[in-house]
Structure 1
């Protein structure tokens, strides 16, 4: 499963999301910072943090908790 967390460099919500992902014992994921990418900024700018299962084209928008992350990972 290819997991991605879209985030910003200075984003307190992104820091909270990282803590939730740790609490949920999320498998390895990639952090992608959208700050310097116009296409990602247009897609995710107001939505970050966004947790994405790229291989299933599913996204989980903030706010989410550990239970929501575990349910998201079990989907599909």
Structure 2
């Protein structure tokens, strides 16, 4: 991980098929844009924290950049995810 790497929290839970879809999109994007993809994806199971569970239980999968308020809440597609990650 270098100085340009930004953490992204990936709010998910076990058995979430939409979360698996987003995980596949992130993998594809990280390969397609490998020179620009400076993100560390940190999965967080919402079941592990009551406050986070209440906040995200109906909106996962959610991505949130560290130190930023902006979130990407489901539903979103590959193109919306790419734009949110500032990849071109």
TM-score (norm 1): 0.85
Equivalent residue pairs, number? 75
Number of the residue aligned with 2:80: 68
1:65: how far off? 2.2
Number of the residue aligned with 1:7: 12
Cα distance in structure 2, aligned partners of 1:65 and 1:23: 13
Note if contact 1:4-1:30 (Cα within 8 Å) is conserved in structure 2.
Answer: yes
For structure 2, the residue ranges without an aligned partner over 5 or more in a row are 1-5, 31-36
- Over aligned residues, Cα RMSD in angstroms? 1.7
Q: Determine helix, strand or coil for the equivalent of 1:32.
A: strand
Larger Rg: 2
Divergent runs of 4+, >3 A: none
5 Å-filtered alignment, 1:14-25, equals 14-25=19-30
For structure 1, the residue ranges without an aligned partner over 5 or more in a row are none
